[in-house]
Amino acid sequence: MMVSPATLAATAPLALEHNGDLYSCDHFVEPKFRLGNIKQQHMVQLVASDQQRAFGNAKRDTLPRYCRECEVRFACNGECPRNRFVSTPEGEPGLNYLCAGYKAFFKHIDRPMKTSQAHSERNGQGQDRSGTQTGQPAVDHDARSD
């Protein structure tokens, strides 16, 4: 699947330093995650680079089984990799230390969210992830792959 640089830029919290250095994420401003410098290369090329794509894919590919089989993964997806430093009950590393809270929260809001979504669909309107009315069909949250 092709993803446009604009889409990548919109979904990745890039970090741009004062000297033009661009990093994959504002939580990973380290040499390993430096994409390049916008004074030497166009920002679009850096955002669409294989390195940045791999950074995004790693969020999915490094999820422990506990997350991959989680009933609220569609909403949580393991959250930010910087917070994945504890082990699952089975001892697999890579679990988010905030897991219990996320699981409780997303289960708690599941019913009201479904009610809200059904209401929007009945009225021919959808909502984006921020809850803003879009006038478009509602988003299928189960289809989220990242």
> Which residues are the active-site residues?
26
Nearer to ligand SF4, 12 or 79 (CB): 79
Task: Give, in order, the Cα–Cα distances in Å from 54 to each of 19, 115, 135, 140, 145.
Answer: 24, 36, 34, 25, 15
Shortest separation between residue 73's beta carbon and ligand SF4, angstroms = 4
Q: Decide if residue 16 touches ligand SF4 (CB under 6 A).
A: no
Q: Report if residue 59 touches ligand SF4, rule: CB under 6 A.
A: no
Contact 80, 24 (CB under 8 A): no
Q: How far is the CB of 69 from ligand SF4 (least distance, A)?
A: 8
Of 8, 46, 48, 67, the one binding ligand SF4 (CB under 6 A) is: 67
Number of residues that bind ligand SF4 (CB under 6 A): 13
- Return the number of the residue (50 or 90) whose C-beta is nearest ligand SF4: 90
- 72 near ligand SF4 (CB under 6 A): yes
- Give ∠ CA 4-10-77 in degrees, rounded to 5: 100
Residue from 26, 20, 27, 23 nearest 49 by CA: 23
Exactly one of 8, 55, 78, 127 binds ligand SF4 (CB under 6 A); that residue is 78
Grouping H, G, I as helix, E, B as strand and the rest as coil, residue 120 is helix
Sign, Cα dihedral of 70, 66, 79, 10: negative
CA 24/CA 14 separation, integer angstroms: 5
Task: Give the residues lining the site for ligand SF4 (CB under 6 A).
Answer: 66-67, 70, 72-73, 76-79, 96, 99, 102-103
